[in-house]
Structure 1
Amino acid sequence: MLDTAARRLTTPLLAPAAARLAAAGVPATALTAAGWLAGLGACAAIVVEAWPLALVLWWTNRVLDGLDGAVARRRGATDLGGFLDVVADFSIYAGIVLAVAIAVPDARLAAVAVLTAYYVSAVAFLALSSILERRRAAEHTDERSLRFSGGIAEGTETVLLYSVLLLVPAWAEALLWIFTAAVAVTALQRVADAVRLLRPRP
């Protein structure tokens, strides 16, 4: 829901650093790998309940995720880079939830619910993206590797909710239930989007 506005805000902020990294020959995939390692570090920090460190590493992961795309667009984006970026993102999104389930026993059922909703939403988005790419649909207009259909729980909302969770882990169970509802609605939105876009034309 907020991703388009967030990209308008962050793109100019990241541009100077991305330009310097690209000029220095830093591959976008190296930034993806560094971001993934920071995300794994955030997961490990959550498990040992080092919440402030987890928050710092989570934001490091997100900044590097923004930089890898910006650098790729300057050096030449590749399909492999786009694939690795999506896998890295989804593995950390799920890893954070798993780590919270380990650290906060009362939130375990909510964590399972979030991961289930993620699974359905991800299948809907990946299937739709694949079909639209095959059709070379005109709706695939942004610069990302895959077509991300909109919803109320996109990347920006995930960043914000996870940040609040890491700041106030006592709210973990409630926050995860709220996020489960948001991701479930997003999955339904993506199914509706698919029906609209893929319905045979009369």
Structure 2
Amino acid sequence: MLDSTARRLLQGPLGRAAGVLDRPHVTPDRLTIAGLALGLVGAGAAAGGLWAPALALWLLSRAADGLDGPLARRRRTALHSENAAQRGVPPSEAGGFLDIAADFTVYGAFVVGVGVGVSTEGASLLPFLLVMLTYYVNGSTFLAFSSIAERTGHHIDDGRSLSFLGGLAEGTETVLVHTAWCLVPFWAEQIAWAWAAVVALSATQRIITGYRLLRRPAASGRP
């Protein structure tokens, strides 16, 4: 729900940061892998109840994830400027795939890490299991839609590698909720119950919207 606003607000700062990072040894894929590694270590810290390190690693992981795209676009722009014959070169599909795979891995690992961490302090694991279930349904829904949309001409172009269906629970909300778990771990169980409900509603919304969208003629495929 907040992704479009967040991208608009962060476009300038992330673009400038990508300019600072634009060095030969720094590549978008390496940033993606760095974000994956930081997120996994952060999940381990959360599992151990080390909430301050977990929070720092989580935020650094998401910062790296936010910078790989702007750096990739900056490199493509430079390539187009240097060689007009390259005009129209599409984004790196391999990089987009790696980014999505890394995001799903980090999100799932962090839910498990937080669930384990708070369960040692007496909280229930059940809401975190429900969050994982709703993540699975939500992710499967938009990935299936993206795959079918590409084949049927219903592509949604918002600058990302896949055709994303908007919903109540998007990347920005996920970052905020996972951050809240680390800031107030004594409320993590209650936050997880509420978050599981929100993600479930978002998954339902995506299923209905995607089904209706794919039933339309491709020419009117954008919602």
TM-score range, shorter chain: over 0.9
**Is the Cα–Cα contact under 8 Å of residues 107 and 176 in structure 1 kept in the other structure?**
no
Question: Residue type matched to 2:144 in 1?
Answer: A
- Per the alignment, residue 5 of structure 1 pairs with 5
Q: Residue 110 of structure 2 is aligned with which of 75, 82, 96? A: 96
User: Following TM superposition, by how much is the alpha carbon of 1:24 offset from its aligned partner in structure 2, in angstroms?
Assistant: 3.9
Whether the 8 Å contact between 2:52 and 2:182 is mirrored in structure 1 is yes
Q: 1:25, CA displacement in angstroms?
A: 5.2
Q: State how far apart, in whole Å, the 1-side matches of 2:150 and 2:202 are.
A: 21
SS at match of 2:160: coil
Aligned to 2:194: 178
Give the whole-Å Cα distance in 2 for the aligned partners of 1:35 and 1:121: 22
1:167 paired with 2:183, answer yes
Structural mapping, 1:186-197, within 5 Å: 186-197=202-213
Q: Is the 8 A contact 1:42 1:53 kept in 2?
A: yes
Matched, 1:122 2:172: no
Show structure 1 runs of 5+ residues with no match: none
Q: How does 1:29-108 map to 2 (within 5 A)?
A: 29-76=29-76, 77-105=91-119, 106-108=123-125
Query: In structure 2, what is the Cα distance between the partners aligned to 1:83 and 1:15?
Result: 21
Flag the structure with larger Rg.
2
- The superposition leaves residues 121-175 of structure 1 with CA deviations (integer Å, 9 ceiling, x where unpaired) of 11110000111111232x5121111111111110000111111110000011111
Would the aligned equivalents of 2:38 and 2:60 in 1 still touch at CA under 8 Å?
yes
1:113 corresponds to which residue?
A: 130
Structure 1 counterpart SS, 2:49: coil
CA RMSD of aligned residues (A): 1.3
Q: For 2:216 and 2:62, locate their aligned partners in 1 and report how far apart those are by CA, in whole Å.
A: 39
Q: Report sequence identity in percent.
A: 46
List structure 1 runs of 4+ shifted beyond 4 angstroms: none
Give the whole-Å Cα distance in 2 for the aligned partners of 1:31 and 1:200: 38
CA distance in 2, matches of 1:100, 1:162: 9
Measured in 2, the distance between the counterparts of 1:55 and 1:161 equals 11
Tell me the matched-pair count: 200
CA contact (8 A) 2:36 2:102 kept: yes
**Scaled by the length of structure 1, what TM-score is found?**
0.95
Shift of 1:107: 3.2
- Distance in structure 2 (CA, Å) of the matches to 1:35 and 1:195: 33
TM-score (norm 2): 0.86
